[in-house]
């Protein structure tokens, strides 16, 4: 890597590192795992930097690598993955008045989701990707995206009892 490329790469990490870290945190639900995920993706990116910097596709490349890495993790851990032993108690509808409280509940509920479900939700609702784009990014079928999103939202509804069933917001 030339000095210029090295400077560009470091500039890219400085500029986009936090944004990548945010997505990684949402994918993993853990700050250390998030750093590992980003660094893994950056290690792969740096070996292809000469080509992806020219195409101005560095961030897209790193993000896609993160998504795929996350998929591979969930596939490797499919059998061993542990769902939380503690089942959160559903909140009563009457306690739904405080927005901050609602956010905390939603945050906890999101972190309780399995990797695959949370990954789909992150790509759909944080990265604002379409179902087709999510499927392409993760290397899975659109049907799987739909089913995972459906299951994830259903679990959120059951976990957060104050969430009324929705009629709109059909995922694109």
Partner 1 sequence: MTTLEDRVRHALHDMADDVQPAHLLSRLDRHEGRIRRTHTRRRLAAVVAAVVAAVGIGSVLLLPIDQPNIIEPVKNPPKVFRLSDTTSVAPGRALLAVTLARPNPAVADGEHEDPLYVLPLTRGAAVHLPGSDRVPYSWSSELSADGTRLIRSNESYVDPHLEVVELATGRSDDLGDRKAYCPQLSSDNGTVVAYGPSGVQVFDVGTGSSRSLYRVKVTQDFPCGGLGWSPDGRRLVVRTDSGSVVIDRLGTVQLRLPDSYAVNSSMSWAPDGRRLLLYDRLHGEYEVVRPDAGSTLAMRWPTDALRPLGWAGHRVVWLAGAPGDYRLVTTDQRGRDVKTWMRFDIGDKPIEAVSWSQDLSGTAAP
- Residue ranges in contact with partner 1 by CB under 8 A: 1-2, 5, 10, 13-23, 25-26, 31, 34-35, 38-39, 42-43, 46-47, 49-51, 53-56, 102-103, 106-107, 110, 121-122, 125-126, 128, 153, 156-157, 163-166, 168-169, 171
How far apart (Å, rounded) are the C-alpha atoms in residues 16 and 11? Answer: 8
- R_g of the chain, CA atoms, integer Å: 18
Nearest approach in angstroms of CB 80 to partner 1 is: 25
How far apart (Å, rounded) are the C-alpha atoms in residues 80 and 82? Answer: 6
- Measured from the CB atom, is 89 or 170 closer to partner 1? 170
- Measured from the CB atom, is 58 or 71 closer to partner 1? 58
Nearest approach in angstroms of CB 81 to partner 1 is: 21
How far apart (Å, rounded) are the C-alpha atoms in residues 157 and 160? Answer: 5
Helix (H, G, I), strand (E, B) or coil at 80: coil
């Amino acid at each position: 890597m030339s000095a210029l490329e090295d400077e560009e790469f470091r500039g890219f990490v400085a500029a986009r590192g936090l944004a990548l870290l945010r997505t990684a945190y949402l994918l993993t639900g853990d700050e250390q795992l998030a750093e590992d995920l980003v660094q893994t993706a950056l290690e792969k990116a740096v070996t292809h930097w000469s080509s992806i910097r020219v195409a101005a596709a560095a961030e897209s490349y790193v993000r896609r690598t993160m998504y795929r890495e996350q998929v591979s993790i969930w596939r490797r851990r499919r059998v061993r993955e542990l769902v939380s032993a503690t089942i959160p108690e559903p909140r009563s509808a009457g306690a739904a008045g405080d927005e901050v409280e609602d956010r905390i509940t939603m945050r906890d509920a999101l972190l309780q989701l399995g990797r695959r479900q949370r990954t789909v939700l992150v790509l759909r609702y944080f990265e604002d990707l379409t179902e087709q784009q999510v499927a392409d990014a993760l290397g899975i079928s659109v049907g799987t995206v739909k089913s995972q999103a459906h299951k994830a939202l259903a679990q959120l509804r059951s976990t957060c009892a104050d969430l009324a069933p929705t009629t709109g917001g059909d995922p694109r």
